[in-house]
Amino acid sequence: MSIETPVRQESPSALPTKPMLEVRDLVVRYGRGRKAAAAPAAVDGVSFTIRPGETVGLVGESGSGKSTIGKAILGLQNVSGGSITYRGEDITHAGAGRRRALGGELRAVFQDPNSSLNPRTTVGASLMDPLRLRGVSAAEARARAEDMLERVGLPREAVDRYPSQFSGGQRQRISVARALICDPQLVVCDEAVSALDLSTQAQVLNLLADLRDERGLSYLFIAHDIAVVQFLAQRVVVLYRGQVMESGPAAAVTENPKHPFTRALVAASPVPRPAEQAQRREARESLGVRTAAATTASPGGCPFRQRCPLATDLCRDERPALRLVGESDVACHYS
């Protein structure tokens, strides 16, 4: 993806220092009991923070654990280890009652608006339901739904229409409106623009950025395309097989990547100009990174070692710790 108009971004140093969300050594295993204990970790020791008004991008290939982390934060996935702290409160194992109370503050925008919007209810009903559950009167809920639809670029009368009467991009705007109607503090965007065409992606990304700046929102923005993440995020966390490979300021990670996997992600990011795409293809091939299909997961050491041109016996025997290289934290013995 290539987007010509840069989104307004605040400098991370200008943001408040107290975290909105803090994830520490998060571990998630699927299954129950002994089966879960013996299963490889889908998320293995992931840590990051999100400050008020900040967007943190979570990027990686399919199966890297990105969506699992988002579900754990939202309380949709059990946590096997580590902690999740929201505004100073440990919500790692929060019960159903506490999660319902947090429902207005922690919201989500998912990948497919076709499956996340009920086709049998009007757009207005979908937007009004979370407000009505919080005791807002029907008249006020409808007025707020109309205002929010207008804010995301849709007509107020859309409140009485059904999702099937809108395009894919418009339905995703409705999903954004539904996520923001309760005035949340943190929004998890899980592949929120990956199903859209490039021009619609840019519109939705700009909308998310404008709403962030106006409302002081925090985003966890999950995507597989590092160019999309670079467009919106102030900081980026790169995942591979459930582990953090690199994290740091968005410009440092995307423009001067230190980890071989991050370099491969940047080189693989598509651009609309054929000549530049050819140069990227040559750069990607010159890195000597093997494809994921040519490797199998194995325990211990660096998870990327079977694909990495720098790998040695040390990478097989010892998992690299995150260490500061330039502006980024990098999990590589040889970066």
Range with the poorest average pLDDT among 2-6, 128-132, 315-319: 2-6
Mean pLDDT of 212-234: 91
Using DSSP, state whether 166 is helix, strand or coil.
Answer: coil
In a domain, 302, yes or no: yes
In a domain, 73, yes or no: yes
Residues 86 and 196 in one domain: yes
Residues 292 and 152 in one domain: no
Residues 254 and 300 in one domain: yes
Find out whether 188 and 103 touch, Cβ atoms under 8 Å: no
Angle at 225 between CA 243 and CA 62, to 5 degrees: 50
Does 2 have pLDDT greater than 60?
no
How much of the chain exceeds pLDDT 70, in percent? 87
In a domain, 58, yes or no: yes
Residues 6 or more apart from 88 whose CB is under 8 A from it?
18
Q: Length of the chain in residues, anyone?
A: 335
Q: Is pLDDT larger for residue 6 or for residue 325?
A: 325
Residues 186 and 75 in one domain: yes
Sort residue 63 into left (φ over 0), alpha (ψ -120 to 50) or beta. Answer: left
Find out whether 253 and 301 touch, Cβ atoms under 8 Å: no
Q: Taking the model in full, what pTM does it have?
A: 0.86
Beta bridge partners of 190: 222
Residues 191 and 163 in one domain: no
Binned at pLDDT 50, 70 and 90, residue 293 comes out as low
Residues 187 and 174 in one domain: no
Q: Which of 131-145, 196-210, 260-274 has the highest mean pLDDT?
A: 131-145
Does 143 have pLDDT greater than 60?
yes
pLDDT tens digits, 84-131: 999 999 999 999 999 988 988 999 998 877 777 888 999 999 999 989
pLDDT tens digits, 12-62: 445 556 899 999 999 999 877 777 777 789 999 999 999 999 999 999 998
Does 5 have pLDDT greater than 50?
no
- Which of 132, 158, 181 is the last residue in one of the domains? 181
Indicate the number of domains in the chain.
Answer: 2
Residues 191 and 272 in one domain: yes
The β-bridge relationship of strands 81-86 and 21-28 is antiparallel
C-alpha to C-alpha distance for 259 and 44, rounded to whole angstroms = 18
Range with the poorest average pLDDT among 9-13, 266-270, 271-275, 319-323: 9-13
Computed over every residue of the chain, the mean pLDDT equals: 86
pLDDT of residue 285: 64
Residues 190 and 170 in one domain: no
In a domain, 174, yes or no: yes
pLDDT of residue 11: 46
pLDDT tens digits, 156-203: 999 999 999 998 889 988 999 999 998 899 999 998 888 777 778 888
Strands, DSSP E only, in the chain?
21-28, 43-50, 55-59, 81-86, 89-90, 106-109, 186-190, 218-223, 235-240, 243-249, 323-325, 328-330
DSSP result, 51-79: -TT-EEEEE--TTSSHHHHHHHHHTSS--
In a domain, 5, yes or no: no
- Which of 181, 208, 231 is the last residue in one of the domains? 181
Does 272 have pLDDT greater than 80?
no
Range with the poorest average pLDDT among 60-64, 112-116, 133-137, 306-310: 112-116
Range with the poorest average pLDDT among 211-215, 288-292, 316-320: 288-292
Full domain range(s) for residue 132: 113-181
- Which of 135, 159, 181 is the last residue in one of the domains? 181
Residues 234 and 158 in one domain: no
Q: Is pLDDT larger for residue 220 or for residue 283?
A: 220
In a domain, 4, yes or no: no
Residues 37 and 128 in one domain: no
Range with the poorest average pLDDT among 4-8, 152-156, 236-240: 4-8
Provide the CATH number for the domain around residue 251.
Answer: 3.40.50.300
Q: CA neighbours within 13 Å on the CB side: how many for 57? A: 27
Residues 95 and 119 in one domain: no
* Alpha-carbon dihedral angle through residues 124, 127, 133, 137, given to the nearest 10 degrees: -50
pLDDT of residue 245: 97
Mean pLDDT of 76-80: 93
In a domain, 225, yes or no: yes
pLDDT of residue 104: 86
In a domain, 1, yes or no: no
Residues 25 and 165 in one domain: no
pLDDT of residue 1: 44
